[in-house]
Amino acid sequence: MLKGLRSGLVLLVLGIISGTLLAFVNYFTATVIAELENQAQYEALKEFYYDVDNPNYDNFVLSDDYDLSKVKMDDSYVSAIFVVKDKVTNEVSLGYLVSANGYSSDAPITMLIVVNSDMSVRGYKVISHKETSGFGADIVDNDFNVHVITDLSGFDSVAHVTFTSDGIYECFYQVSLRVAADFGGDLVD
Amino acid sequence: MTKLENLLKGLVKENPLFVSVLGMCPSLAVTTSLENALGMGIGVLFVLVLSNFMVSLIMSSPKLAELVKPVRIPVYIVIIATLVSVVEMLMHAFLIDLYNALGVFIPLIVVNCIILGRAEAFASANKPVDSVLDGIGMALGFTAAISLISIFREFLGKGTITIWGDAVLNLKFFFNFLNIEPISMFVQPVGAFLSFGLILATLTAFGNFFKERKARKVKANG
Protein backbone atom coordinates (compact mmCIF):
# COMPACT_ATOMS: atom_id res chain seq x y z
CA MET A 1 0.00 0.00 0.00
CA LEU A 2 2.74 2.41 1.10
CA LYS A 3 4.86 1.32 -1.87
CA GLY A 4 2.00 2.12 -4.22
CA LEU A 5 1.58 5.55 -2.66
CA ARG A 6 5.30 6.26 -3.05
CA SER A 7 5.18 5.27 -6.72
CA GLY A 8 2.20 7.56 -7.17
CA LEU A 9 4.10 10.35 -5.46
CA VAL A 10 7.02 9.87 -7.85
CA LEU A 11 4.60 10.20 -10.76
CA LEU A 12 3.13 13.34 -9.21
CA VAL A 13 6.56 14.94 -8.74
CA LEU A 14 7.46 14.06 -12.32
CA GLY A 15 4.20 15.63 -13.49
CA ILE A 16 4.98 18.84 -11.58
CA ILE A 17 8.50 19.02 -13.06
CA SER A 18 7.08 18.43 -16.57
CA GLY A 19 4.43 21.09 -16.06
CA THR A 20 7.01 23.62 -14.88
CA LEU A 21 9.24 22.89 -17.88
CA LEU A 22 6.32 23.29 -20.29
CA ALA A 23 5.24 26.55 -18.63
CA PHE A 24 8.81 27.86 -19.02
CA VAL A 25 8.99 26.94 -22.73
CA ASN A 26 5.50 28.34 -23.29
CA TYR A 27 6.55 31.60 -21.62
CA PHE A 28 9.06 32.47 -24.32
CA THR A 29 7.36 30.81 -27.34
CA ALA A 30 3.79 32.12 -26.79
CA THR A 31 4.63 35.69 -27.80
CA VAL A 32 6.50 34.51 -30.92
CA ILE A 33 3.57 32.27 -31.90
CA ALA A 34 1.03 35.09 -31.34
CA GLU A 35 3.18 37.44 -33.44
CA LEU A 36 3.37 34.85 -36.24
CA GLU A 37 -0.41 34.41 -36.19
CA ASN A 38 -0.93 38.19 -36.40
CA GLN A 39 1.55 38.38 -39.26
CA ALA A 40 -0.24 35.58 -41.13
CA GLN A 41 -3.58 37.39 -40.71
CA TYR A 42 -2.12 40.66 -41.95
CA GLU A 43 -0.42 39.00 -44.94
CA ALA A 44 -3.69 37.29 -45.86
CA LEU A 45 -5.60 40.55 -45.55
CA LYS A 46 -2.99 42.36 -47.63
CA GLU A 47 -3.62 40.02 -50.57
CA PHE A 48 -7.19 41.27 -50.93
CA TYR A 49 -6.27 44.94 -51.05
CA TYR A 50 -3.05 44.75 -53.02
CA ASP A 51 -3.11 46.60 -56.32
CA VAL A 52 -2.34 43.94 -58.94
CA ASP A 53 -0.86 46.58 -61.24
CA ASN A 54 1.69 47.51 -58.58
CA PRO A 55 4.60 45.09 -58.86
CA ASN A 56 6.07 45.87 -55.42
CA TYR A 57 3.91 43.56 -53.36
CA ASP A 58 6.57 43.13 -50.66
CA ASN A 59 6.65 46.90 -50.13
CA PHE A 60 2.87 47.25 -50.09
CA VAL A 61 1.64 48.43 -46.68
CA LEU A 62 -2.08 48.06 -46.21
CA SER A 63 -2.37 50.92 -43.75
CA ASP A 64 -0.93 53.41 -46.27
CA ASP A 65 -4.05 53.33 -48.42
CA TYR A 66 -6.62 52.04 -45.95
CA ASP A 67 -7.66 52.73 -42.38
CA LEU A 68 -7.31 49.39 -40.65
CA SER A 69 -8.65 48.37 -37.26
CA LYS A 70 -9.14 45.00 -35.61
CA VAL A 71 -12.13 44.38 -33.35
CA LYS A 72 -11.88 41.31 -31.12
CA MET A 73 -15.20 39.45 -30.78
CA ASP A 74 -16.67 37.35 -28.02
CA ASP A 75 -18.18 34.80 -30.38
CA SER A 76 -17.63 31.04 -30.61
CA TYR A 77 -17.00 31.26 -34.38
CA VAL A 78 -15.89 34.80 -35.23
CA SER A 79 -12.89 35.72 -33.09
CA ALA A 80 -12.11 39.09 -34.71
CA ILE A 81 -13.25 41.45 -37.44
CA PHE A 82 -10.90 43.65 -39.43
CA VAL A 83 -12.60 46.89 -40.42
CA VAL A 84 -10.92 48.25 -43.54
CA LYS A 85 -11.83 51.69 -44.87
CA ASP A 86 -10.54 53.02 -48.19
CA LYS A 87 -8.97 56.41 -47.48
CA VAL A 88 -10.01 57.82 -50.87
CA THR A 89 -13.49 56.41 -51.48
CA ASN A 90 -14.43 55.84 -47.81
CA GLU A 91 -15.74 52.42 -48.81
CA VAL A 92 -15.79 49.99 -45.87
CA SER A 93 -15.15 46.26 -46.07
CA LEU A 94 -15.03 43.71 -43.26
CA GLY A 95 -12.51 40.89 -42.82
CA TYR A 96 -13.89 38.10 -40.62
CA LEU A 97 -11.48 35.86 -38.72
CA VAL A 98 -13.69 32.83 -38.33
CA SER A 99 -13.06 29.27 -37.10
CA ALA A 100 -15.03 26.03 -37.36
CA ASN A 101 -14.27 22.37 -36.77
CA GLY A 102 -13.24 20.19 -39.68
CA TYR A 103 -11.98 16.63 -39.32
CA SER A 104 -9.04 17.33 -37.03
CA SER A 105 -9.84 17.38 -33.34
CA ASP A 106 -6.45 19.00 -32.75
CA ALA A 107 -7.30 22.45 -34.17
CA PRO A 108 -10.20 24.07 -36.05
CA ILE A 109 -10.05 25.47 -39.58
CA THR A 110 -9.47 29.22 -39.29
CA MET A 111 -10.35 31.40 -42.25
CA LEU A 112 -10.17 35.05 -43.16
CA ILE A 113 -13.23 36.02 -45.20
CA VAL A 114 -13.34 39.55 -46.52
CA VAL A 115 -16.74 40.94 -47.51
CA ASN A 116 -17.45 44.19 -49.37
CA SER A 117 -20.24 46.52 -48.36
CA ASP A 118 -22.39 45.14 -51.23
CA MET A 119 -22.06 41.73 -49.49
CA SER A 120 -19.91 40.28 -52.25
CA VAL A 121 -16.91 38.22 -51.19
CA ARG A 122 -13.74 40.19 -51.80
CA GLY A 123 -11.58 37.19 -50.96
CA TYR A 124 -11.02 34.36 -48.54
CA LYS A 125 -8.07 32.38 -47.28
CA VAL A 126 -7.52 29.50 -44.89
CA ILE A 127 -5.16 30.92 -42.25
CA SER A 128 -4.53 27.72 -40.31
CA HIS A 129 -5.76 24.15 -40.08
CA LYS A 130 -4.60 20.70 -39.07
CA GLU A 131 -6.61 18.66 -41.53
CA THR A 132 -5.19 15.34 -42.70
CA SER A 133 -2.33 15.76 -45.13
CA GLY A 134 -3.24 14.50 -48.60
CA PHE A 135 -7.00 14.53 -47.89
CA GLY A 136 -8.49 17.42 -45.93
CA ALA A 137 -5.41 19.54 -46.46
CA ASP A 138 -6.04 19.39 -50.22
CA ILE A 139 -9.68 20.33 -49.75
CA VAL A 140 -8.97 23.56 -47.89
CA ASP A 141 -6.91 24.77 -50.85
CA ASN A 142 -9.84 24.26 -53.22
CA ASP A 143 -11.57 27.07 -54.98
CA PHE A 144 -15.15 26.75 -53.74
CA ASN A 145 -16.42 29.10 -56.47
CA VAL A 146 -17.05 31.58 -53.71
CA HIS A 147 -15.83 34.39 -55.97
CA VAL A 148 -19.06 34.09 -57.98
CA ILE A 149 -21.19 34.84 -54.92
CA THR A 150 -22.44 38.36 -55.03
CA ASP A 151 -24.62 38.30 -51.93
CA LEU A 152 -23.29 36.54 -48.86
CA SER A 153 -26.49 37.18 -46.92
CA GLY A 154 -28.04 34.31 -48.89
CA PHE A 155 -25.03 32.01 -48.78
CA ASP A 156 -25.43 28.39 -49.87
CA SER A 157 -22.43 27.57 -52.01
CA VAL A 158 -20.27 24.87 -50.43
CA ALA A 159 -21.82 21.37 -50.56
CA HIS A 160 -20.52 20.44 -47.10
CA VAL A 161 -20.42 16.66 -47.65
CA THR A 162 -17.11 15.94 -45.89
CA PHE A 163 -15.89 16.94 -42.45
CA THR A 164 -13.37 19.37 -43.89
CA SER A 165 -15.66 21.02 -46.42
CA ASP A 166 -18.29 21.20 -43.68
CA GLY A 167 -15.81 23.26 -41.64
CA ILE A 168 -15.30 25.55 -44.63
CA TYR A 169 -19.06 25.82 -45.12
CA GLU A 170 -19.58 26.60 -41.44
CA CYS A 171 -17.09 29.47 -41.65
CA PHE A 172 -18.91 31.07 -44.59
CA TYR A 173 -22.30 30.32 -43.05
CA GLN A 174 -21.42 31.96 -39.74
CA VAL A 175 -20.23 35.07 -41.59
CA SER A 176 -23.39 35.10 -43.71
CA LEU A 177 -25.53 35.05 -40.56
CA ARG A 178 -24.13 38.31 -39.27
CA VAL A 179 -22.76 40.19 -42.24
CA ALA A 180 -25.93 42.17 -43.02
CA ALA A 181 -26.27 43.28 -39.40
CA ASP A 182 -22.58 44.20 -39.23
CA PHE A 183 -22.88 46.47 -42.24
CA GLY A 184 -26.25 47.75 -41.13
CA GLY A 185 -25.01 49.25 -37.92
CA ASP A 186 -22.79 48.36 -35.00
CA LEU A 187 -20.89 45.11 -35.06
CA VAL A 188 -23.00 42.28 -33.64
CA ASP A 189 -21.29 40.96 -30.54
CA MET B 1 29.04 -4.07 -26.92
CA THR B 2 31.42 -1.13 -27.49
CA LYS B 3 30.19 2.44 -27.55
CA LEU B 4 30.75 2.66 -31.33
CA GLU B 5 28.77 -0.53 -31.93
CA ASN B 6 26.08 0.87 -29.68
CA LEU B 7 25.90 3.99 -31.81
CA LEU B 8 26.03 2.25 -35.18
CA LYS B 9 23.64 -0.64 -34.56
CA GLY B 10 20.58 1.56 -35.14
CA LEU B 11 21.76 2.61 -38.59
CA VAL B 12 21.67 -0.80 -40.32
CA LYS B 13 21.78 -3.90 -38.09
CA GLU B 14 18.87 -2.92 -35.83
CA ASN B 15 17.32 -0.19 -37.98
CA PRO B 16 14.02 0.67 -36.26
CA LEU B 17 12.04 0.99 -39.48
CA PHE B 18 13.49 -1.58 -41.86
CA VAL B 19 14.49 -4.26 -39.34
CA SER B 20 12.21 -3.83 -36.31
CA VAL B 21 9.38 -2.34 -38.44
CA LEU B 22 8.46 0.11 -35.66
CA GLY B 23 6.92 3.61 -35.98
CA MET B 24 5.39 2.92 -39.40
CA CYS B 25 2.32 5.12 -39.11
CA PRO B 26 4.04 8.55 -38.94
CA SER B 27 6.82 7.27 -41.20
CA LEU B 28 4.46 6.51 -44.05
CA ALA B 29 2.43 9.68 -43.51
CA VAL B 30 5.20 12.28 -43.51
CA THR B 31 7.41 10.87 -46.27
CA THR B 32 5.80 12.93 -49.03
CA SER B 33 8.92 15.12 -49.19
CA LEU B 34 12.51 14.90 -47.99
CA GLU B 35 12.04 18.12 -46.01
CA ASN B 36 9.21 16.56 -43.98
CA ALA B 37 11.28 13.44 -43.35
CA LEU B 38 14.27 15.47 -42.15
CA GLY B 39 12.03 17.59 -39.91
CA MET B 40 10.41 14.50 -38.41
CA GLY B 41 13.86 12.98 -37.98
CA ILE B 42 15.12 16.04 -36.08
CA GLY B 43 12.05 15.90 -33.81
CA VAL B 44 12.51 12.18 -33.13
CA LEU B 45 16.26 12.65 -32.52
CA PHE B 46 15.60 15.33 -29.89
CA VAL B 47 12.88 13.33 -28.13
CA LEU B 48 14.58 9.92 -28.36
CA VAL B 49 17.97 11.07 -27.08
CA LEU B 50 16.54 13.05 -24.16
CA SER B 51 13.93 10.43 -23.21
CA ASN B 52 16.57 7.68 -23.29
CA PHE B 53 18.85 9.83 -21.13
CA MET B 54 16.15 10.66 -18.57
CA VAL B 55 14.77 7.13 -18.34
CA SER B 56 18.28 5.75 -17.94
CA LEU B 57 19.09 8.37 -15.30
CA ILE B 58 16.00 7.47 -13.30
CA MET B 59 16.46 3.72 -13.64
CA SER B 60 20.19 3.77 -12.83
CA SER B 61 19.38 4.72 -9.24
CA PRO B 62 18.33 1.42 -7.53
CA LYS B 63 16.04 3.12 -4.98
CA LEU B 64 14.30 5.31 -7.57
CA ALA B 65 14.08 2.40 -10.02
CA GLU B 66 12.29 0.31 -7.39
CA LEU B 67 9.73 3.09 -6.86
CA VAL B 68 9.24 3.76 -10.55
CA LYS B 69 9.06 0.13 -11.69
CA PRO B 70 5.31 -0.41 -10.98
CA VAL B 71 4.43 2.84 -12.81
CA ARG B 72 7.25 2.86 -15.34
CA ILE B 73 5.08 3.04 -18.48
CA PRO B 74 3.18 6.16 -17.26
CA VAL B 75 6.53 7.65 -16.23
CA TYR B 76 7.98 7.02 -19.71
CA ILE B 77 4.87 8.51 -21.31
CA VAL B 78 5.02 11.65 -19.13
CA ILE B 79 8.70 12.15 -20.04
CA ILE B 80 8.13 11.55 -23.76
CA ALA B 81 4.94 13.66 -23.89
CA THR B 82 6.72 16.57 -22.19
CA LEU B 83 9.60 16.43 -24.65
CA VAL B 84 7.24 16.20 -27.62
CA SER B 85 5.28 19.22 -26.34
CA VAL B 86 8.53 21.17 -26.06
CA VAL B 87 9.45 20.20 -29.65
CA GLU B 88 5.96 21.18 -30.84
CA MET B 89 6.09 24.61 -29.19
CA LEU B 90 9.60 25.32 -30.47
CA MET B 91 8.69 24.22 -34.02
CA HIS B 92 5.52 26.33 -33.94
CA ALA B 93 7.51 29.38 -32.88
CA PHE B 94 10.66 29.03 -34.97
CA LEU B 95 9.96 26.58 -37.84
CA ILE B 96 6.37 27.45 -38.77
CA ASP B 97 6.47 25.96 -42.30
CA LEU B 98 7.75 22.64 -41.01
CA TYR B 99 5.23 22.77 -38.17
CA ASN B 100 2.40 23.21 -40.69
CA ALA B 101 3.78 20.48 -42.93
CA LEU B 102 4.15 17.89 -40.16
CA GLY B 103 0.78 18.83 -38.65
CA VAL B 104 -0.72 16.17 -36.43
CA PHE B 105 2.34 13.94 -36.70
CA ILE B 106 4.37 16.00 -34.22
CA PRO B 107 2.09 15.14 -31.27
CA LEU B 108 1.99 11.58 -32.56
CA ILE B 109 5.72 11.23 -31.79
CA VAL B 110 4.46 10.54 -28.24
CA VAL B 111 3.06 7.20 -29.34
CA ASN B 112 5.90 6.36 -31.71
CA CYS B 113 6.79 2.78 -30.77
CA ILE B 114 10.49 3.39 -31.38
CA ILE B 115 10.74 5.88 -28.51
CA LEU B 116 8.75 3.88 -25.98
CA GLY B 117 10.43 0.68 -27.19
CA ARG B 118 13.96 2.03 -26.68
CA ALA B 119 13.03 3.42 -23.25
CA GLU B 120 11.72 0.03 -22.11
CA ALA B 121 14.13 -2.29 -23.94
CA PHE B 122 17.40 -0.37 -23.68
CA ALA B 123 17.47 2.82 -21.59
CA SER B 124 15.86 1.22 -18.52
CA ALA B 125 18.65 -1.36 -18.31
CA ASN B 126 21.72 0.61 -19.45
CA LYS B 127 23.88 3.54 -18.38
CA PRO B 128 22.95 7.12 -19.45
CA VAL B 129 25.90 7.51 -21.88
CA ASP B 130 25.10 4.22 -23.62
CA SER B 131 21.42 5.17 -23.74
CA VAL B 132 22.22 8.52 -25.36
CA LEU B 133 24.41 6.79 -27.98
CA ASP B 134 21.65 4.25 -28.60
CA GLY B 135 19.14 7.11 -29.00
CA ILE B 136 21.38 8.96 -31.47
CA GLY B 137 21.98 5.80 -33.51
CA MET B 138 18.32 4.79 -33.57
CA ALA B 139 17.15 8.31 -34.46
CA LEU B 140 19.73 8.57 -37.25
CA GLY B 141 18.70 5.13 -38.52
CA PHE B 142 15.05 6.22 -38.44
CA THR B 143 15.87 9.50 -40.21
CA ALA B 144 17.92 7.69 -42.87
CA ALA B 145 15.09 5.21 -43.44
CA ILE B 146 12.32 7.81 -43.80
CA SER B 147 14.61 9.99 -45.93
CA LEU B 148 15.15 7.05 -48.30
CA ILE B 149 11.40 6.44 -48.54
CA SER B 150 10.67 10.15 -49.05
CA ILE B 151 13.31 10.53 -51.80
CA PHE B 152 11.82 7.51 -53.58
CA ARG B 153 8.24 8.77 -53.21
CA GLU B 154 8.85 12.42 -54.00
CA PHE B 155 11.01 11.66 -57.03
CA LEU B 156 8.50 9.23 -58.54
CA GLY B 157 5.43 11.18 -57.43
CA LYS B 158 6.46 14.77 -58.19
CA GLY B 159 9.76 14.61 -60.07
CA THR B 160 11.41 16.79 -57.42
CA ILE B 161 13.35 16.37 -54.18
CA THR B 162 12.68 19.10 -51.60
CA ILE B 163 15.78 19.23 -49.44
CA TRP B 164 14.77 22.19 -47.26
CA GLY B 165 12.65 25.28 -47.93
CA ASP B 166 13.41 26.61 -51.39
CA ALA B 167 16.28 24.15 -51.97
CA VAL B 168 14.49 21.88 -54.41
CA LEU B 169 16.16 19.49 -56.87
CA ASN B 170 14.13 19.46 -60.06
CA LEU B 171 14.50 16.05 -61.70
CA LYS B 172 11.59 16.31 -64.10
CA PHE B 173 13.99 15.93 -67.04
CA PHE B 174 13.98 12.21 -66.25
CA PHE B 175 10.23 12.04 -66.85
CA ASN B 176 10.50 14.37 -69.85
CA PHE B 177 13.10 12.00 -71.32
CA LEU B 178 10.69 9.09 -70.91
CA ASN B 179 7.86 11.31 -72.18
CA ILE B 180 5.66 10.54 -69.15
CA GLU B 181 4.26 12.50 -66.19
CA PRO B 182 5.41 11.87 -62.58
CA ILE B 183 3.35 9.09 -60.99
CA SER B 184 1.34 11.09 -58.42
CA MET B 185 0.12 7.87 -56.80
CA PHE B 186 3.48 7.65 -55.02
CA VAL B 187 2.79 10.76 -52.92
CA GLN B 188 -0.64 9.39 -51.98
CA PRO B 189 -1.11 6.98 -49.02
CA VAL B 190 -1.19 3.93 -51.29
CA GLY B 191 2.20 4.97 -52.68
CA ALA B 192 3.59 5.05 -49.14
CA PHE B 193 2.77 1.39 -48.57
CA LEU B 194 4.03 0.41 -52.03
CA SER B 195 7.28 2.33 -51.58
CA PHE B 196 7.87 0.90 -48.12
CA GLY B 197 7.21 -2.63 -49.39
CA LEU B 198 9.48 -2.25 -52.41
CA ILE B 199 12.35 -0.75 -50.42
CA LEU B 200 12.01 -3.32 -47.63
CA ALA B 201 11.96 -6.18 -50.18
CA THR B 202 15.06 -4.81 -51.93
CA LEU B 203 16.96 -4.38 -48.66
CA THR B 204 15.95 -7.86 -47.49
CA ALA B 205 17.10 -9.35 -50.82
CA PHE B 206 20.46 -7.59 -50.45
CA GLY B 207 20.73 -8.76 -46.83
CA ASN B 208 19.98 -12.36 -47.81
CA PHE B 209 22.46 -12.19 -50.68
CA PHE B 210 25.30 -11.05 -48.40
CA LYS B 211 24.34 -13.59 -45.73
CA GLU B 212 24.43 -16.42 -48.27
CA ARG B 213 27.76 -15.22 -49.68
CA LYS B 214 29.22 -15.12 -46.18
CA ALA B 215 27.88 -18.59 -45.43
CA ARG B 216 29.41 -19.94 -48.67
CA LYS B 217 32.76 -18.40 -47.76
CA VAL B 218 32.67 -19.96 -44.29
CA LYS B 219 31.74 -23.32 -45.82
CA ALA B 220 34.54 -23.11 -48.42
CA ASN B 221 37.10 -22.27 -45.76
CA GLY B 222 35.96 -25.29 -43.82
CB atoms within 10 A of CB B94: 13
Residues from chain A that touch B74, judged by Cβ atoms under 8 A, are 11
What ipTM is given for this predicted complex? 0.73
- Quick check: A170 pLDDT over 90? no
Note the pLDDT of residue B137. 92
Q: What is the CA radius of gyration of chain A?
A: 21
Averaged pLDDT for residues B40-44: 86
**B12 and B140 Cβ atoms separated by less than 8 Å:** no
Q: Is the pTM of this model over 0.80?
A: no
Averaged pLDDT for residues A11-31: 93
Averaged pLDDT for residues B114-135: 89
Note the pLDDT of residue B27. 83
- Distance from the Cα of B71 to chain A's closest Cα (Å) equals 7
The contacts of residue A153 (CB under 8 Å, 6+ apart) are A119, A176, A179, A180
State how far the alpha carbon of A59 is from the alpha carbons of A39, A127, B66, in Å: 15, 21, 63
Of the candidates B32, B82, B104, which has its C-beta nearest A18's C-beta?
Answer: B82
Average pLDDT, chain A: 80
Averaged pLDDT for residues B185-194: 89
- Residue of B138, B185, B149, B131 whose CA lies nearest to B22: B138
Note the pLDDT of residue A143. 63
| Band (B201; pLDDT cuts 50, 70, 90) | very high
| Cα B145 to Cα B199: distance, rounded to the nearest angstrom | 10
Instruction: Report the range of poorest mean pLDDT among A68-82, A118-132, B84-98, B145-159.
Output: A118-132
pLDDT in tens, A105-121: 777 888 888 888 888 88
- Quick check: A84 pLDDT over 80? yes
| Cα B159 to Cα A30: distance, rounded to the nearest angstrom | 38
Note the pLDDT of residue B147. 93
Residues from chain B that touch A26, judged by Cβ atoms under 8 A, are 89
pLDDT in tens, A31-41: 999 888 888 88
Instruction: Report the range of poorest mean pLDDT among A17-26, B1-10, B81-90, B181-190.
Output: B1-10
Across the beta sheet with A78-86, the strand order is A66-72, A78-86, A92-100, A109-115, A121-128
- Distance from the Cα of A14 to chain B's closest Cα (Å) equals 8
Average pLDDT, chain B: 87
- Quick check: B115 pLDDT over 70? yes
- Residue of A47, A92, A44 whose CA lies nearest to A68: A92
Under an 8 A CB cutoff, do B90 and A21 touch?
Answer: no
- Quick check: A63 pLDDT over 80? no
CA atoms within 13 A of residue B140's CA, in its CB half-sphere: 14
Note the pLDDT of residue A135. 62
**A77 and A100 Cβ atoms separated by less than 8 Å:** yes
Q: How many beta-carbon pairs under 8 angstroms link A with B?
A: 70
